Amino acid sequence: MVGVLLIGNGAREHAIAETLARSPQKPKLFSYMKARNPGIARLSAGIQLGDYGNISGIIGFAMKNAVDFAIIGPEDPLDKGVADTLEQEGISCVGPKKELARLETSKSFTRLLMEKYRIEGNPKFQVFESTGGIRQFLDTLDGFVIKPDGLTGGKGVKVQGDHLQTKEDALRYCEEVLQTHPAVVVEEKLDGEEFSLQCLCDGKHVVAAPPVQD
């Protein structure tokens, strides 16, 4: 019987746990959660509660239960390098290593990468480590979006017209962000329909999941 480590305690991870439970392979699920999710717990052969930054605790739980591979849901443990450490212990992961996870964990890294390789779809943007120059850049934009550089639990991005109204609002928010983050990304507002398209890749093959919206 295949043993699977599931990291995460949200609705996304609950959906993953339910899907694993329906698998004809009947894997044995072990779940590491920051807070107890009763739905995930009911589907698990074993659970452990702990901080996602406790990499040694996650590894110990995985080794104790002799899991064959891990599925990592949240961005936080990926940012802490949990996939790197698990793979060093011979445990394959559904989830990127820390360097690759920067596409999600650092908005400035992703924008600069797209700029470097001339990938289409990049908005007009600048990365600021201080408030100097922000007002001048805002003056060049018809609409703006402010993004903290780093993880914010999906709550950090603020858009003109929805969360912020004036350039003064934007400047105040940038000042607030820079108190807790190394940088802030200021970019032009793009109008359109947003969706997520995720792919699984083993280094040779790419399989796309259905596009989704939240």
Q: Verify that 25 and 76 share a domain, yes or no.
A: yes
Q: Verify that 84 and 127 share a domain, yes or no.
A: no
List the CATH number of the domain containing 153: 3.30.1490.20
pLDDT along the chain (214 residues), means of 10: 96 97 96 98 98 96 98 95 97 95 95 97 96 97 96 88 96 96 97 91 93 89
Ranges of H-type helices in the chain: 11-22, 38-43, 55-64, 75-79, 82-88, 98-105, 107-116, 134-138, 167-178
Q: Verify that 87 and 14 share a domain, yes or no.
A: yes
- From 37, 63, 97, give the residue that closes a domain: 97
Do the domain assignments include residue 138? Answer: yes
pLDDT of residue 203: 86
76: left (phi over 0), alpha (psi -120 to 50) or beta: alpha
- Round the CA-based radius of gyration of the chain to a whole number and report it: 20
pLDDT of residue 139: 97
Q: Verify that 125 and 168 share a domain, yes or no.
A: yes
Task: With CA atoms as reference, report the closest residue to 44 among 33, 59, 58, 28.
Answer: 28
Q: Verify that 74 and 116 share a domain, yes or no.
A: no
Q: Verify that 30 and 53 share a domain, yes or no.
A: yes
pLDDT of residue 22: 97
> E-strand spans in 92-214?
92-94, 125-128, 144-148, 158-159, 184-188, 199-201, 206-208
pTM score:
0.88
Do the domain assignments include residue 29? Answer: yes
pLDDT of residue 111: 97
Task: Name the residue range of residue 32's domain.
Answer: 3-97
Q: How far apart are CA 120 and CA 135, in angstroms?
A: 26
Do the domain assignments include residue 210? Answer: no
Q: Verify that 72 and 123 share a domain, yes or no.
A: no
- From 78, 97, 116, give the residue that closes a domain: 97
Do the domain assignments include residue 207? Answer: no
pLDDT of residue 152: 85
Task: With CA atoms as reference, report the closest residue to 29 among 13, 11, 53, 50.
Answer: 13
Three-state secondary-structure class, residue 65? coil
Q: Verify that 91 and 110 share a domain, yes or no.
A: no
- Both structure tokens of 5: 């480590």
Which letter does DSSP use for residue 110 in this model? H
